[in-house]
C-alpha cells in the first residue's frame, strides 16, 4: 500500500480513513469559528477511495523547505483535496516554493473553478503556476466538471479528466442507483441549508433568501424535516451553544437586515429551534442521510452525501459550482433564479434519476481510471474488468 501526503486537509483523521473537525469535543474552543464541514466530507471521502498505510500533511503555510527532501523519500504522492481553488481570490501561501522542491506527483483530486457572477474568470499568475506545476507532475489532473476543465484548458492545461467529487463514490459501489419510492411514502426529509451568501455567488440575494425561506416552510408543512447546517457560526451556537449563546445567535440574525427582511420569520425561527442538525463529525451526516427518504437543498456536499448513500436528492442551483455538479452527475436540479415555482412532483420522476444513475456509473469509471493512470493504489472497483468477469451460474 502507498504512503500519501495531503495538501490542505480539512479536519483530523481517526480510525485510518474517518474525518472530524479538530478537537471536535471541545466545542467552545471553536464555536465562534466558521468552518465548512462539507470540506471534511470531501477529505473523508477521498481517504475512503485510497489504499494507504501512511498519511501525512504537506505544509504550504510556513513550510521548512529543507524538510521537503525528507518527504520526497518517505511518501509516494501528494493529493490536493478537492475544493473550489480556481478563482481570482485564491491565495496559495508558499505552495510554489514547496512544489519546486517536491519530486513526487501532486494529484489534483476533483478540484473546481468558481465563475464570477458577471464577466469572465480571472486567475492570478500564482494560481496558473500552481495548476501547471501540478499538471506537469501527473498523467492527468482531476476536475469536477466541464466548466472547470475548460478553465484549465484555456490556460494551456490539456491533461484534464472530469472525475466529479470523491464524495459521490465514498461507498465504493459502482452499481449504486437511485430508485424512487412512491412520493406518498416519503416522510423523513433532510433540507441542506446555506443561509450565508454573498453577491459573489448569488446574482439576486433577495430571491436567494426568500426562495430559501419559502422552500423550507413548504417542505416542513408537508414532511417530517431536519434542517442540515454545515458550519455557520450562528447555526453552530443554536445546536451546541449555551442557552445564552443560542439567544445571541438568534439576536445576531435578527440584527442582520438581509436575514431579518428575507429569511428569518417566526416559522423559520421555530424550525431552527426544534429541527436543526449540525455535527463536526462526517460519519454523523452519513448516518443521518441514510435515515432519510429524501435530502434536498442548497448544499453541494450535503446533497452529494445523500446520493452516495442511495438517498434521492434534488439540487437547487444558484452559482457555477452548483450548476457544474448538477451537470456532471445529471442530478435533477432547480434554478433558484428561474423565477418559477418549485413543485416536487415535477422532479419525482424515475427517468430523471435514471439520467443520474447513468452519469454516476460513467463518472465512477472516470474517477477509477484517473487514480489508476496516476499510479494511485485505490479501493475502487475496476468497472471494466468486472464487466469482463464470467457470470457465475449456480447449479
Mapping DSSP to helix (H, G, I), strand (E, B) and coil, where does residue 36 land? coil
Mean pLDDT of 304-325: 96
Domain 2-173+360-385 part of CATH 3.30.70: no
Measured between alpha carbons, how far is 111 from 131 in angstroms, rounded to an integer? 10
Among positive and negative, which fits the CA dihedral 237, 42, 74, 14?
Answer: positive
User: Binning pLDDT at 50, 70 and 90, where does residue 384 land?
Assistant: low
Q: What is the per-residue pLDDT for 119?
A: 84
Please check whether residue 340 is in contact with residue 364, taking contact to mean a CB–CB distance below 8 angstroms.
no
Q: What is the per-residue pLDDT for 393?
A: 42
Residue entry with cell 501532486: 106
Q: What is the per-residue pLDDT for 197?
A: 84
H or E stretch including 133?
helix 125-136
Neighbours of 90 (CB within 10 A): 16
Please check whether residue 30 is in contact with residue 21, taking contact to mean a CB–CB distance below 8 angstroms.
yes
Angle at 343 between CA 341 and CA 349, to 5 degrees: 140
User: Binning pLDDT at 50, 70 and 90, where does residue 166 land?
Assistant: very high
Q: What grid cell was written down for 275?
A: 429541527
Domain ranges of the chain: 2-173+360-385, 183-351
Mapping DSSP to helix (H, G, I), strand (E, B) and coil, where does residue 110 land? strand
Per-residue pLDDT tens over the stretch 4-40: 999 999 999 999 999 999 999 999 999 999 999 999 9
Please check whether residue 298 is in contact with residue 334, taking contact to mean a CB–CB distance below 8 angstroms.
no
Please check whether residue 212 is in contact with residue 263, taking contact to mean a CB–CB distance below 8 angstroms.
yes
Q: What grid cell was written down for 243?
A: 442557552
Q: 190 pairs with which residues across the strands?
A: 226, 295
For all residues of the chain together, what is the average pLDDT? 94
Residues 6+ apart with CB under 8 A from 47: 13, 16, 17, 18, 19, 55
Measured between alpha carbons, how far is 140 from 109 in angstroms, rounded to an integer? 10
- Which whole-number Å values give the CA distances from 255 to 45, 208, 319, in the listed order? 37, 19, 26
Q: What is the per-residue pLDDT for 170?
A: 97
Please check whether residue 180 is in contact with residue 348, taking contact to mean a CB–CB distance below 8 angstroms.
yes
Burial class (CB in 10 A: 0-12, 13-18, 19+), 266: exposed
Measured between alpha carbons, how far is 153 from 327 in angstroms, rounded to an integer? 19
Measured between alpha carbons, how far is 171 from 305 in angstroms, rounded to an integer? 10
What is 183-351's CATH number, 1.10.530, 3.40.1350, 3.40.50, 2.40.50? 3.40.50
Q: 160 pLDDT exceeds 50? A: yes
Measured between alpha carbons, how far is 160 from 37 in angstroms, rounded to an integer? 27
Half-sphere exposure of 153 (CA within 13 A, CB side): 10
Query: Do 2-173+360-385 and 183-351 fold alike per CATH?
Result: yes
Percent of the chain residues past pLDDT 90, beyond the cut = 92
Nearest to 362 by CA among 317, 321, 389, 330: 330
Q: 200 pLDDT exceeds 80? A: no
H or E stretch including 296?
strand 294-297
Residue entry with cell 493504489: 377
H or E stretch including 363?
helix 350-373
Task: Compute φ and ψ for 213, nearest 5 degrees.
Answer: -60, -50
Q: pTM, whole model, 2 decimals? A: 0.95
Q: 312 pLDDT exceeds 70? A: yes
Q: What is the per-residue pLDDT for 386?
A: 56
Per-residue pLDDT tens over the stretch 79-95: 999 999 999 999 999 99
Q: What is the per-residue pLDDT for 390?
A: 46
Amino acid at each position: 500500500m502507498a504512503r500519501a501526503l495531503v495538501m490542505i486537509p480539512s479536519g483530523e483523521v481517526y480510525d485510518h480513513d474517518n474525518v472530524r473537525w479538530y478537537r471536535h469535543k471541545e466545542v467552545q474552543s471553536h464555536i465562534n469559528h466558521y468552518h465548512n464541514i462539507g470540506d471534511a466530507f470531501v477529505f473523508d471521502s477521498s481517504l475512503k477511495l485510497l489504499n494507504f498505510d501512511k498519511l501525512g500533511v504537506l505544509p504550504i503555510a510556513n513550510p521548512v523547505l529543507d524538510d521537503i527532501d525528507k518527504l520526497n523519500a518517505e511518501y509516494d504522492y501528494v493529493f490536493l483535496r478537492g475544493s473550489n481553488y480556481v478563482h481570482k481570490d485564491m491565495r496559495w501561501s508558499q505552495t510554489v516554493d514547496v512544489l519546486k522542491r517536491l519530486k513526487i506527483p501532486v494529484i489534483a483530486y476533483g478540484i473546481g473553478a468558481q465563475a464570477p457572477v458577471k464577466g469572465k474568470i480571472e486567475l492570478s499568475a500564482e494560481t496558473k503556476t500552481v495548476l501547471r506545476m501540478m499538471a506537469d507532475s501527473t498523467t492527468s489532473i482531476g476536475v469536477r466538471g466541464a466548466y472547470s476543465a475548460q478553465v484549465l484548458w484555456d490556460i494551456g492545461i490539456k491533461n484534464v479528466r472530469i472525475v466529479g467529487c470523491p464524495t459521490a463514490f465514498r461507498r465504493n459501489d459502482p452499481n449504486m442507483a437511485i430508485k424512487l419510492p412512491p412520493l406518498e411514502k416519503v416522510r423523513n426529509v433532510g433540507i441542506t441549508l446555506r443561509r450565508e451568501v454573498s453577491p459573489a455567488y448569488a446574482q439576486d440575494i433577495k430571491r436567494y433568501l426568500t426562495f430559501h425561506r419559502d422552500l423550507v416552510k413548504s417542505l416542513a408543512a408537508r414532511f417530517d424535516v431536519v434542517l442540515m447546517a454545515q458550519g455557520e457560526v450562528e447555526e453552530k451556537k443554536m445546536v451546541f451553544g449555551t442557552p445564552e449563546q443560542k439567544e445571541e445567535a438568534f439576536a445576531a440574525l435578527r440584527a442582520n437586515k438581509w436575514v431579518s427582511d428575507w429569511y428569518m420569520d417566526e416559522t423559520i425561527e421555530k424550525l431552527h429551534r426544534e429541527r436543526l442538525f449540525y455535527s463536526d463529525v462526517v460519519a454523523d451526516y452519513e448516518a443521518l442521510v441514510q435515515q432519510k427518504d429524501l435530502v434536498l437543498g442548497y448544499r453541494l456536499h450535503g446533497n452529494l452525501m445523500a446520493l452516495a448513500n442511495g438517498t434521492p436528492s434534488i439540487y437547487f442551483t444558484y452559482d457555477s459550482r452548483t450548476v457544474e455538479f448538477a451537470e456532471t452527475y445529471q442530478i435533477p436540479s432547480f434554478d433558484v433564479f428561474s423565477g418559477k415555482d418549485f413543485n416536487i412532483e415535477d422532479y419525482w420522476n424515475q427517468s430523471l434519476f435514471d439520467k443520474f444513475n447513468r452519469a454516476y456509473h460513467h463518472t465512477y469509471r472516470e474517477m477509477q481510471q484517473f487514480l489508476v493512470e496516476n499510479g494511485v493504489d485505490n479501493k475502487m472497483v475496476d468497472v471494466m474488468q468486472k464487466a469482463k468477469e464470467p457470470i457465475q451460474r449456480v447449479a
